[in-house]
Amino acid sequence: MAAAISSMSDLIASVPALLGFVPRDSFVLISSINQPDGRRKFGAVQRIDLAQLTEAPTIWASRLAANLADLSVAQLFGVLVPASSGAAPHATVLPLRPTMRTVATTLLQRGLTELDIVFVSQFAAGTPWQSYLDGTRRGTLPDPAGTAAAAIATASGYTIAASREDLAMRYTPAPDADRARLRPLINAAARTARLEGARSAATRARLARADGAIRAASEGELPTDDTVMADLVATFAASVLRHALLAAPSADISIGTENLALHLWRLTPEPYASELATVIATHAYCRGDGAGASCALEAAATPVPLGHLLGRCLDHSLPHNKLRQAMNEAAQKVRDQLSDATTAPAPSASPHATDQPER
């Protein structure tokens, strides 16, 4: 994220905006990166359940460090937040001190020497925090909703969920009867799409219909007609067209694609649903929404090769802008091939759209 880091209190309060949800029972590791002007911005952000970390702190700290090996990390900040907000930070009662000592030692041994680890009981204005490594370092949180990171997230169309469970609740499918109703229509539309041929006028028209539906979704309009929805699912199911639809020229088009694909996912049976979930995950990752991408991948019941690749990118904290550039270039190449001599551009952004800030 492009937001600069102004203070430790501001950094801790930014965690919900960086993750996309308010964490509980978690250890969050945040890296900062030097900018050319000397300021520091947020880099890779990693989260792990406390139960996992306490079971094998050396192993998990080593994995977290390995994910940062190819990044130019200036500083590293760990934040521990418990399941309950009842604990108050005090030098003699900070929880999991031995675990945090092991984590710190492991990270330091791997060359990550600019390090601090803090405890905070909850992410709310006025909540005190304290360092595990230096008992004199302490402070209180500002309002998390007032941080620069939260402002960028809100302006970019992100929703900061109350918990990861709330974020995952987006992936609640429609009743089985609705999915069963669409199955024969989707199967028929998918057969038609396969017969159309990669470079045919029918395929180009199919892509244009999908582009139009994405533009409409970016303005809040989602399809309701069963035949139209089946046609769109079949388009996303065709590998060549799906690759063409992974372009993210702007934030509003990317969010529109996610919203359209999620709307279709709720009504779509497998294996088509998993392909739609992977499309959602790709666009979420390219926008910098790692938590959203992770939840989308978890909703993919059927393995999809691209989903496996995205999972590896998440595991190793690949910068989202690198993936976005690669996806945009690949998608445009597919569109060029589909259109023969005339390039079919990716869906254009609205006049007021701006590129997604780094997150």
Q: Which residue has the tokens 């918990």?
A: 163
**Of the given ranges (65-74, 139-148, 297-306, 334-343), which has the lowest mean pLDDT?**
334-343
Residues 6+ apart with CB under 8 A from 33: 40, 41, 42, 43, 71, 72, 73, 74
Highest mean pLDDT among 3-12, 209-218, 302-311: 209-218
Q: How confident is the model at residue 42 (pLDDT cuts 50, 70, 90)?
A: confident
Average pLDDT over residues 29-55: 85
pLDDT at 278 over 70: yes
More confident residue, 343 or 145: 145
The architecture that CATH gives domain 8-162 is: 3-Layer(aba) Sandwich (3.40)
pLDDT value, residue 124:
95
Q: How far apart are CA 185 and CA 266, in angstroms?
A: 15
pLDDT at 34 over 90: no
The 10s digit of each residue's pLDDT in 192-206 is 999 987 778 999 999
pLDDT at 4 over 50: yes
SS (H, E, C) the chain: CCCECCCHHHHHHCHHHHHCECCCCEEEEEEEEECCCCCEEEEEEEEEEHHHHHHCHHHHHHHHHHCCCCCCCCEEEEEEECCCCCCCCCCCCCCCHHHHHHHHHHHHHCCCCCEEEEEECCCCCCCEEEECCCCCCEEECCCHHHCHHHHHHHHCCCCCECCHHHHHCCCCCCCHHHHHHHHHHHHHHHHHHHHHCCCCHHHHHHHHHHHHHHHHHHCCCCCCCHHHHHHHHHHHHCHHHHHHCCCCCCHHHHHHHHHHHHHHHHHCCCCHHHHHHHHHHHHHHHHCCHHHHHHHHHCCCCCCHHHHHHHHHHHCCCCHHHHHHHHHHHHHHHHHHHCCCCCCCCCCCCCCCCCCCCC
Average pLDDT over residues 196-223: 91
pLDDT value, residue 355:
33
pLDDT at 87 over 60: no
More confident residue, 353 or 30: 30
Mean of all residue pLDDT scores within the chain:
87
Q: How far apart are CA 17 and CA 357, in angstroms?
A: 13
pLDDT value, residue 347:
55
The 10s digit of each residue's pLDDT in 299-312 is 999 888 889 989 98
Q: Where are the domains of the chain?
A: 8-162, 176-338
pLDDT at 165 over 70: yes
Confirm if 253 and 215 have CB atoms less than 8 A apart: yes
pLDDT value, residue 43:
80
The 10s digit of each residue's pLDDT in 292-345 is 899 999 999 988 888 998 998 887 777 788 888 899 999 999 998 887 644 445
More confident residue, 172 or 351: 172
The model carries a pTM of: 0.74
Q: How much of the chain exceeds pLDDT 70, in percent?
A: 90
Q: Which of 23, 27, 110, 120 has the alpha carbon at shortest distance from 73? A: 110
Q: How confident is the model at residue 5 (pLDDT cuts 50, 70, 90)?
A: low
Q: How confident is the model at residue 85 (pLDDT cuts 50, 70, 90)?
A: low
More confident residue, 283 or 71: 283
The 10s digit of each residue's pLDDT in 99-110 is 999 999 999 999
Average pLDDT over residues 140-151: 93
Confirm if 32 and 5 have CB atoms less than 8 A apart: yes
